[in-house]
Amino acid sequence: MKIAELELRTINLPLVRPFRTSFGTQTAREVLMLKVTTGDGVVGWSECVALSEPVYSPEYVAGCLDEMKRFFIPALLSAPVLTVESVAPLLAGFLGSPMAKATLETALLDAQLRAENRSLADFLGANKSKIPCGVSVGIAPSIPQLIEEVAGYIKDGYKRIKLKIEPGWDIEPVAEVRRNWPEIPLQVDANQAYSRSDGPQLAKLDQFELLLIEQPLDEHDILGHAQLARQVRTPICLDESIVSLRAAEDALALKATTIINIKPGRVGGYLEAVRIHDLCLNEGIPVWCGGMIETGIGRAANVALAALPGFTLPGDTSASSRFFLRDITEPFVMHDGFLDVPNTVGIGRTPDMEFLNSITSYKESIGP
Ligand code: NPG
C-alpha cells in the first residue's frame, strides 16, 4: 500500500452529561482523528483513544500528535513496503505509545479493507451479527442521582451496568443499585484508585454478586492484583495493566486476573487485540470490549471486535446517544440492548464531513 496523504485533525464533542471517574471529570471529548488516502485514492479513517490529559494512561492528544508527526509518520512514509501487518514492526523501535500507533494501523486497515471490499468484522473473525451492550456509569453527585441515571439506562435496554467506584464511593452506591435491580448483571471499575491494603474493603463487594472488579490497583501492580484476587471472591479483571499480549500472558500466569478487558487502542491496535482474544479463548478466560468514549469511527471498529467468539461478556459498547447528542457518523442505535455489527466495507462508518469540519479545532495534511 502507498500513502498519498495523511490528514490529522482534532475535534471537540460535548458530552450529554459530565462523566466522572477516579481520574477526573470529562465534560467534552477532544479526539484526534486520522484520515489516510492511499495511492489508489482509497480513504481510511481512525481515531486515537488518548484523552486530552495523561490521566488514564501516559498518552494524551497533543503528545500523540507530536509523536505521530515527529517519528511515526516519517517512519511509515519512508518504508519500502507498507502493509497493515508491517505498521507495528516498523514502529517497534519507538517505545510505548500504543494508542498513537493503533491510530495509524487502524486507518490503514480501514483503507486496505475498503480496497479489498471486505468488512472489518469478517477480517477479524467475527461470528455474530449483533452484540449485547453494557453501559459505564460515572461517579454521581448523590445516590438518588445515580439511581435515576441507572434507571434511565435500564429503560434504554442496557444488558449490563458498570459503576465507577473510588474510595468513599463504593459499597453504598453498589448496594443501592443492587437493591433496586437484584438481577441486573453488575460490575465495578476503580481505574487504579485503591491500594494493596484495601483487600478487606473490596471484599465487602462480594455480597453483591458482581461480575467483576476492574483494575482496582495501580497498572504496574500485577503482584498486588494477584494478592488481592486471593482476598476477594469477585473475579478481578485487568484493564490499564494489559498493554500487550505479553502483559496479558504475564497477568494470567501470575493469576492477577481471570477476566480481561480488551481495548484495541491500549494494546497498540486490532491485530494485537485479536492475539489477546485468541490467547484468552484458548485458556478459557472471558474477555469483553472496553470503551474510551469513542465517536462512531472508533465505536464501529470496537463493535466488530466485540463480535468475536471469545467476547462472552457485554462490553462498554454503548449507543452513540450514551455520550453524544450528535455523533460524527451515522449513530449506533441500540435495539433491545443490542447493536448491529457493521457488515459493509472497512470499519463500516465514515464521518459526516460537514459536521466534522464544524467541530474541528486543528487540521494538518502530511504527504510523502
Ligand atoms: O463506554 O466508551 C465508554 C466509556 C467506558 O468507562 C468507560 N471507559 O476506564 O474504561 C474506562 C473508561 C475510560 C473512558 C477510560 C475514557 C479512558 C477514557
**Residue 341 grid coordinates:** 455489527
What three-state secondary structure class fits 46?
strand
Give the whole-angstrom CA distance, residue 363 versus residue 360: 7
Give the whole-angstrom CA distance, residue 266 versus residue 299: 14
Residue 188: per-residue pLDDT: 98
Task: Tell me how far the alpha carbon of residue 23 lies from the centroid of ligand 1, in angstroms.
Answer: 11
Residue 346: per-residue pLDDT: 98
Q: Which of 159, 162, 263, 363 is catalytic?
A: 263
Ligand 1 pocket check for 329: Cβ under 6 Å: no
Please, which residues bridge with residue 133 across strands? 315
**Residue 302 grid coordinates:** 470496537
Give the whole-angstrom CA distance, residue 321 versus residue 317: 11
Ligand 1 pocket check for 290: Cβ under 6 Å: yes
The pLDDT tens digits for 91-116 are 999 999 999 999 999 999 999 999 99
Task: Tell me how far the alpha carbon of residue 114 lies from the centroid of ligand 1, in angstroms.
Answer: 29
Give the whole-angstrom CA distance, residue 242 versus residue 273: 10
Top mutation candidate among 159, 292, 320 for ligand 1, by most atoms within 8 Å of CB: 292
CA dihedral 131, 246, 95, 301 (to 10 degrees): -10
Catalytic (active site) residue 155: no
Residue 202 phi, psi (nearest 5):
-70, -30
For 283, the enclosing helix (H) or strand (E) is helix 270-283
Residue 148: per-residue pLDDT: 98
Ligand 1 pocket check for 313: Cβ under 6 Å: no
Give the whole-angstrom CA distance, residue 277 versus residue 106: 17
**Residue 90 grid coordinates:** 516498523
Residue 89: per-residue pLDDT: 98
Task: Tell me how far the alpha carbon of residue 291 lies from the centroid of ligand 1, in angstroms.
Answer: 5
Task: Tell me how far the alpha carbon of residue 292 lies from the centroid of ligand 1, in angstroms.
Answer: 4
Give the whole-angstrom CA distance, residue 61 versus residue 290: 19
For ligand 1, what atom is nearest to the CA of residue 164? 6
Q: What is the mean pLDDT of residues 139-156?
A: 98
Residue 146: per-residue pLDDT: 98
For ligand 1, what atom is nearest to the CA of residue 56? 17
Taking each helix axis from N to C end, the angle separating 84-91 and 98-116, rounded to the nearest 10 degrees, works out to 160
Ligand 1 pocket check for 291: Cβ under 6 Å: yes
Please, which residues bridge with residue 5 across strands? 37
For ligand 1, what atom is nearest to the CA of residue 322? 1
For 178, the enclosing helix (H) or strand (E) is helix 171-180
Ligand 1 pocket check for 293: Cβ under 6 Å: yes
For 244, the enclosing helix (H) or strand (E) is none
Task: Tell me how far the alpha carbon of residue 113 lies from the centroid of ligand 1, in angstroms.
Answer: 27
For ligand 1, what atom is nearest to the CA of residue 261? 10
The pLDDT tens digits for 234-272 are 999 999 999 999 999 999 999 999 999 999 999 999 999
Confidence of residue 306 (pLDDT cuts 50, 70, 90): very high
Residues 6+ positions from 134 with CB-CB distance below 8 Å: 158, 159, 160, 161, 162, 185, 288, 313, 314, 315, 316, 317, 318
Ligand 1 pocket check for 292: Cβ under 6 Å: yes
For 224, the enclosing helix (H) or strand (E) is helix 222-229
**Residue 214 grid coordinates:** 476492574
Angle at 179 between CA 173 and CA 185, to 5 degrees: 85
Q: Which of 35, 159, 162, 164 is catalytic?
A: 164
Give the whole-angstrom CA distance, residue 32 versus residue 79: 24
Task: Tell me how far the alpha carbon of residue 364 lies from the centroid of ligand 1, in angstroms.
Answer: 28
Q: What is the mean pLDDT of the chain?
A: 98
Residue 315: per-residue pLDDT: 98
Nearest one of 313, 175, 293, 294 to 237, comparing CA atoms: 313
Catalytic (active site) residue 101: no
The pLDDT tens digits for 30-85 are 999 999 999 999 999 999 999 999 999 999 999 999 999 999 999 999 999 899 99
Report yes or no: 255 and 226 within 8 Å, Cβ to Cβ: yes
Give the whole-angstrom CA distance, residue 237 versus residue 261: 7
Ligand 1 pocket check for 262: Cβ under 6 Å: no
Task: Tell me how far the alpha carbon of residue 290 lies from the centroid of ligand 1, in angstroms.
Answer: 7
Task: Work out whether strand 236-238 and strand 259-262 pair parallel, antiparallel, or are unpaired.
Answer: parallel
What three-state secondary structure class fits 333?
coil
Ligand 1 pocket check for 173: Cβ under 6 Å: no
Question: How large is the C-alpha radius of gyration of the chain?
Answer: 20
Ligand 1 pocket check for 136: Cβ under 6 Å: yes
